[in-house]
Amino acid sequence: MEETEITISLKDIFRVLKKNLIFIILMVLIFSASAFFITKFFIPKKYTSNISLYVDTNYVTDNSSSANDLYSYNYAQKLVATYIKMLNTKTFYSKVAERLDNKYTATEISKMVYFKSDEETEIFQASVVCYSPNEAKYIADAVSKVAPTVISNLNNNATLKIVDEADIPQTYSSPNITKNILIAFAAGLVLSLLIAFLRDYFDVKIKYDSSMTTLGGVPVLTAIPDFEYFVGKAESIEDIMESSDENDSK
């Protein structure tokens, strides 16, 4: 089987873009506007309340020194990941649910709480994502009360201290309107370009212009004009002549 090579020149690209410019702009605007309205008015808003926790160890001896301080720091830093694992358990979420008077199940709370560590410090963050800003703070407060107790029960060598208490979030954390608009803009642009080039590729009509001298390797002897164009011109001339005759008769 012979393979058909598709070659597109830069001139062809500009021709397709120029021909479909309005279509491309409309597609991009429709996609971007749709993303804005859907994100703004239809996607439920989520709010995030954060608390910061500090890992404090009792591993250092009474003779405080720089070496001991550094060892304590490294020790606490390594424990952060372990404590996050300890907190990200069904046992912990069940205790949080109990503190909330079982308003939420342990499974529901586990889907709303996220832990994030800072690799360079002994501090890690607990974030509560909820559809209500007040509920986000309510759950975050319960997490901050239960977490230190759970850690101290599991390991006596380290305790958790609250660095930043939870606040009521003033603005929603998701969805991100700007991000969604940019994604929709890119999608509309790509799709409109794809449609434009496919439509041009499958257009079997012969494209002729004044600069074309050959067609398929055969010299062009003549071309069929656009009769509708000339008919329209003739009608316009006749109207002008009739108007001129009427003025002369007056």
**What's the Cα-to-Cα distance from 66 to each of 63, 154, 157, rounded to whole Å?**
10, 28, 20
- What's the gap between Cα 78 and its chain centre? 33
Q: Using H for helix, E for strand and C for coil, what is the string for 9-29?
A: CHHHHHHHHHHCHHHHHHHHH
Residue the block writes with tokens 């832990």:
115
Q: Report all structural domains of the chain as residue ranges with CATH numbers, in order of start.
A: 10-43+175-201 (no CATH), 47-164 (3.30.70.1130), 214-249 (no CATH)
Tens digit of pLDDT at every position of the chain (250 positions): 445 555 668 888 898 999 999 999 999 999 999 999 999 999 999 999 999 998 876 654 445 555 555 566 666 667 788 889 889 999 999 999 999 999 999 999 999 999 998 777 788 999 999 999 999 999 999 999 999 988 888 776 667 889 999 999 999 999 999 999 999 999 999 999 999 999 988 876 655 555 555 555 555 556 565 555 555 555 555 655 566 555 555 5
Q: Give residue 1's pLDDT.
A: 45
How far apart are alpha carbons 115 and 170 in whole angstroms? 21
3 state SS of 225: coil
| Tokens representing residue 63 in the block | 């003779």
CA distance 40 to 34: 10
The whole-number pLDDT of residue 26 equals: 97
On the 0-12 / 13-18 / 19+ scale of CB atoms within 10 A, 188 is buried
Per-residue confidence (pLDDT) for residue 61, from 0 to 100:
47
